[in-house]
Amino acid sequence: MPEQLLYAMEVTLNGLMAGVMYSLVALGFVLIFKASGIFNYAQGVLALFAALTLVGLQNGQIPFAHLINAALGTNLHSFGWKLPVLVAIALTALVMVGLAILIEKLVLKHLVNQAPIILFMATIGLAYFLEGLGDVMWGADIKKLDVGLPQGISETVESVTDSIFGYGFFIDNLDIVATVVAVLLVASLTIFSQYSKQGRALRAVADDHQAALSVGISLRFIWVLVWSIAGFVALVAGIMWGTKSGVQFSLSLIALKALPVLMLGGFTSIPGAIVGGLIIGVGEKLFEFSVGPMIGGATENWFAYMLALIFLVFRPQGLFGEKIIERV
């Protein structure tokens, strides 16, 4: 088999893995949009906040230590102990649930039946607030996140592909784990959305807040539930991205990469978030491989948005999104 074709296959496989990482972020956006009909600008910051909290709890760091030291002249930094990984993850998940409850009580319950743009602006304010809160609580330095996930090139994949094609593919173990986790998440969320009582209530709230309230559906409970699930998805995404590139405040910018994924897959489709991510991941890798050298490279920075723009022109609802027809 020609070497260029083998290399293209390796690039495609790496693109699929990268697409799964994008999809993990996009899933949180889909959940919030299905429940409230708004684009949650704060989803990327939720992933950052979850990762910061996990590292802080894992290392036994004292929250607000910098603020306490500045106010009282002390030199506090940590409790002197470290939590086991699973305990730290469980506590972080509880923190995200508590955060969801606070968001509903302090923000969302005051915005029932408001225009979507008002809700969207609220999520922008929430994003900047959480980013500042994470800074004050845990500090702004880059942190290493290690929850025991395998990293580095997979020797198994390399040896198997070498025996089949005579050319070993270099695939990161972390990307393989992320793929398995994403498949499990999508399967679980799809089953929850389609077949559970709460999932059907979630779809009813997304269609019409007032109608859902009139048949006894608790809007406040649904919002707490969906923001809790989105917080858990953000935690998973934060773990994967934080392990891959370190926990730093640029982590919140992964939300921008989720935008074209949503435009391709559709804002209301959980499987669409995965398919959109895979298309973006493979597309940008192959485009960089085939066209990048001819135009100076760095095409991964803009290819996804160009592809999303094309979709907006010809299929604005995305591949799996619902086509809404309004009669006037």
Average pLDDT, the chain: 85
Closest CA to 185 of 145, 239, 223: 239
Q: Which residues contact 103 (CB under 8 A, 6 or more apart)?
A: 126, 227
Give the per-residue pLDDT at 162.
83
Closest CA to 36 of 102, 112, 101: 112
Selected residue with higher pLDDT from 169 and 86: 86
Instruction: Mark residue 43 as left, alpha or beta (left: phi above 0; alpha: psi -120 to 50; beta: remaining).
Output: alpha
Dihedral sign, CA of 260, 265, 270, 275? negative
In the chain, where the domains are located: 3-314
CA angle 179, 183, 189 (to 5 degrees): 140
Selected residue with higher pLDDT from 324 and 301: 301
Cβ neighbours, 10 Å, residue 141: 8
Integer Cα distance of 236 and 245 in angstroms: 14
Q: According to the per-residue pLDDT averaged within each range, which of 34-48, 82-96, 194-208, 296-310 is highest? A: 82-96
* Cβ 36 vs Cβ 223: under 8 Å: yes
Selected residue with higher pLDDT from 223 and 297: 223
Instruction: Mark residue 64 as left, alpha or beta (left: phi above 0; alpha: psi -120 to 50; beta: remaining).
Output: left
Give the per-residue pLDDT at 323.
63
Give the per-residue pLDDT at 327.
52
Integer Cα distance of 309 and 263 in angstroms: 8
For 41, the token pair is: 């600008």
Tens-place pLDDT, residues 141-187:
888 888 888 888 888 888 888 888 788 888 888 888 888 888 888 88
Tens-place pLDDT, residues 87-131:
999 999 999 999 999 998 998 888 877 788 888 899 999 999 999
Closest CA to 316 of 257, 259, 264, 258: 264
Q: Which residues contact 243 (CB under 8 A, 6 or more apart)?
A: 145, 146, 147, 149, 151, 174
Tens-place pLDDT, residues 281-317:
999 889 888 888 888 777 888 888 999 898 888 888 8
Indicate if the pLDDT at residue 1 is higher than 70. Answer: no
CATH class (in words) of the domain with range 3-314: mainly alpha
